[in-house]
Copies of this chain bind each other. A is one copy, B any other.
Amino acid sequence: MLDEVLEAFLVAGRERRLERWMEFVRIPSVSAQPEHADDCRRAAGWLADDLSVAGLEHVAVEETGGHPIVYGDWLGAGDAPTVIAYGHYDVQPADPLELWDTPPFEPIVRGDRMIGRGAEDNKSCVQMHVRAVEALLATRAGLPVNLKLVFEGEEESGSANLDAWLVENRGRLAADVAVISDTDFFEGNRPAICLGVRGLVGFEIDVRGPNRDLHSGAYGGAVQNPVNALCSIIAAFKESDGRIAVPGFYDDVVELGAEERAAMAALPFDEDVYRDSLGLSQLVGEEGYTTVERKTGRPTLDVNGIWGGYSGEGAKMIVPAEAHAKVSCRLVPDQDPGRVFERIRAFVADIAPPGVEVTMRAVTDGLPSSTPIDHPATRAAARAIEATFGVPPLYYRAGGSVPVTASFGDLLGLPVVLLGFAPPDSQAHAPNEFMDLNNFETGIRTIARCWDEMAVALA
């Protein structure tokens, strides 16, 4: 049962909320691209102002050595539990631009969607947290919990500075639980709580051959071609049954238990609908596992991008001087990103064709993690969802990576609840990203209710 005054406040403020959210999305805070560094800083400043407007205290744009962290808290709840909530204000690059139906940084509401780069991931949840605090502070004497908001600016580029900042500010960040809002609802936009996320290791393979592009007629046949060589390496990563061929890759993988596999099998998931929605004739993955298992409970190896030589119109017949690929592996407990990277590096060194120089460098990583279903904080979040969305949540594992889960869990020693609100088809990281407006509006109420529930559950 929601607070009626709170509800009236939220109903009255809907238009203004959408406006502010759109204003936030208009700032192209792409953390991976240096040309957007100023935009990231502008987004941080904008967000800090927004926190102050909402009534948070100790608001600060905190320097990290990279893009800053925006912090704000409300600590007036005395002995009540303390919650840290996390989101990020940076976004993915927008390209390929030509596949967007509308300009990525000119958000637009169409039907029940807000469309734009970051409209969902993760500016929606950041706004939901701020607006929930604002509504509670405006309609009550205060919050039911002590709340510390931490909004990062480098999540999409590997969170290089978050861990150091968390450790440095460990005292100030003392809490009873961390709530991270960067996960999805389940297929069909069903309210859900995520019990685990995959880790990741992202790396680049660079293959260098001749000291310049060579005429493929004059030199072809006499030298190793760096693109052909790179393709050989990438092809060797996988067996035809979908298993990753790198020796030792699976050594630390905790196999899915029978109970968890049964829970996954029970999830409402229509494989045909899923396949058709992707425009595919066939789903392909590791033999011996279901699609749900493959995309959440098993590790992967995917090329994220490859380039080398001529890609313009017509023909340019060269042996390219070099070739490059960005590759990433999603990892599951208890795989360690560093250890996996070293195994892949050793494998590549072993199989690299002669006549080219092959180097590898890690670009990003994150630990896998999981959260108990029966933790009081998880139960509290579940009650908040049921009270606002009208249905109990489903429980699932996420295929994606929220490395900060491990940061808050391992570094601050906190139980972590993954309470996200993204529709699973939001096209996060892809063109035409969107957020569902009902998820946004109801989610604000869920967050407010969650603080009420946690105040009781964690007391």
Tell me if A439 counts as interface (CB < 8 A to partner B): no
Question: Quick check: B312 and A93 within 8 Å, CB to CB?
Answer: yes
A237/B228 in contact, CB under 8 A: yes
Residues of B within 8 Å of A400, CB to CB, are 215, 217-218
A234: CB under 8 A from chain B?
A: yes
Give CA–CA (A300, B295) in the complex, Å: 40
A170 within 8 A of B: no
Chain A window 327-365, contacts with chain B (Cβ cutoff 8 Å), 1 for yes, 0 for no: 010100000000000000000000001110100000110
Chain-B contact segment, one of A49-57, A132-140, A303-311, A445-453: A303-311
Q: Which residues of B contact A95 (CB under 8 A)?
A: 310, 312
Question: Which chain A residues (284-328) contact chain B, with CB distance < 8 Å?
Answer: 284-286, 291, 294-295, 298-320, 323-326, 328
Partner of A32, one of B312, B330, B431: B312
16 other A-B residue contacts (CB within 8 Å) besides A211-B279, A220-B328, A284-B354: A33-B313, A212-B427, A214-B429, A216-B302, A216-B328, A218-B400, A223-B280, A225-B302, A225-B303, A227-B305, A235-B236, A280-B355, A305-B318, A305-B320, A311-B326, A318-B429
Q: A429 contacts B317, CB within 8 Å?
A: yes
Is residue A399 within 8 Å, beta carbon to beta carbon, of the partner chain? Answer: yes
Expressed in whole angstroms, the Cα–Cα distance for A232 and B320 within the complex equals: 19
A31–B305 CA distance with the chains assembled, in angstroms: 29
Which B residues touch A238, using CB under 8 A?
Answer: 228, 232
A198 at the interface (CB under 8 A from B): yes
Contact (A309, B316) CB under 8 Å given A237-B228, A330-B217 = no
Q: Looking at the assembled complex, report how far the CB atom of A186 sits from the nearest CB atom of chain B, in whole angstroms.
A: 12
Min C-beta distance of A155 to chain B, whole Å: 11
**Which of A's residues lie within 8 Å of B, judged by CB?**
31-34, 92-93, 95-96, 99, 156-158, 184, 197-198, 200, 202, 209-225, 227-228, 230-232, 234-238, 274, 278-286, 291, 294-295, 298-320, 323-326, 328, 330, 353-355, 357, 363-364, 398-401, 424, 427-432
With known contacts A230-B231, A235-B231, A306-B306, A363–B314 Cβ distance under 8 A: yes
Tell me the bound Cα distance from A103 to B236 in angstroms: 40
Q: Are A316 and B213 in contact (CB under 8 A)?
A: no
B223 and A284 contact, CB distance less than 8 A: yes
Partner of A309, one of B216, B304, B308: B304
Q: Would you call A218 and B295 a contact (CB within 8 A)? A: yes
Given contacts A221-B330, A225-B303, A232-B235, contact A311 B284 (CB under 8 A): no
- Are A212 and B431 interface neighbours, CB within 8 A? yes
Taking a contact as CB atoms under 8 Å apart, the answer to whether B213 and A315 are in contact is no
Secondary structure class of chain A's binding surface, majority of residues:
loop
Residue of B nearest to A308 (CB): B306
A401 surroundings in chain B (CB, below 8 A): 217, 317
The answer to whether B278 touches A315 (Cβ under 8 A) is: no
A214 with B326, Cβ < 8 A, contacts A221-B295, A314-B32 known: no
Chain B residues contacting A317 (CB-CB under 8 Å) are 200, 202, 302, 304, 328, 401, 429
A301 to B286, CA, bound (A): 31
How far, in whole Å, are A409 and B293 apart by their CA atoms in the complex?
Answer: 63
Residues of B within 8 A of A237 (CB): 228
Inter-chain contact A213/B430, CB cutoff 8 Å: yes
Select A280's contact among B198, B210, B235, beta carbons within 8 Å: B210
Query: Which B residues lie within 8 Å of A278 (CB)?
Result: 210-212, 214, 219, 223
Partner of A314, one of B33, B210, B310: B33
Cβ contacts under 8 Å, A211 to chain B:
278-280
A33 to B158, CA, bound (A): 38
Q: A220 and B399: CB pair below 8 A?
A: yes
A222 touches B311 (CB 8 A): no
For the complex formed, measure the closest distance between the CB of A240 and the CB atoms of chain B, giving whole angstroms: 8
Nearest opposing residue in chain B for A271, CB measure: B222
Is B315's CB under 8 angstroms from A285's CB? Answer: no
Chain B residues whose C-beta falls within 8 Å of the C-beta of A231 in the assembled complex: 230-232, 234-235, 303, 306
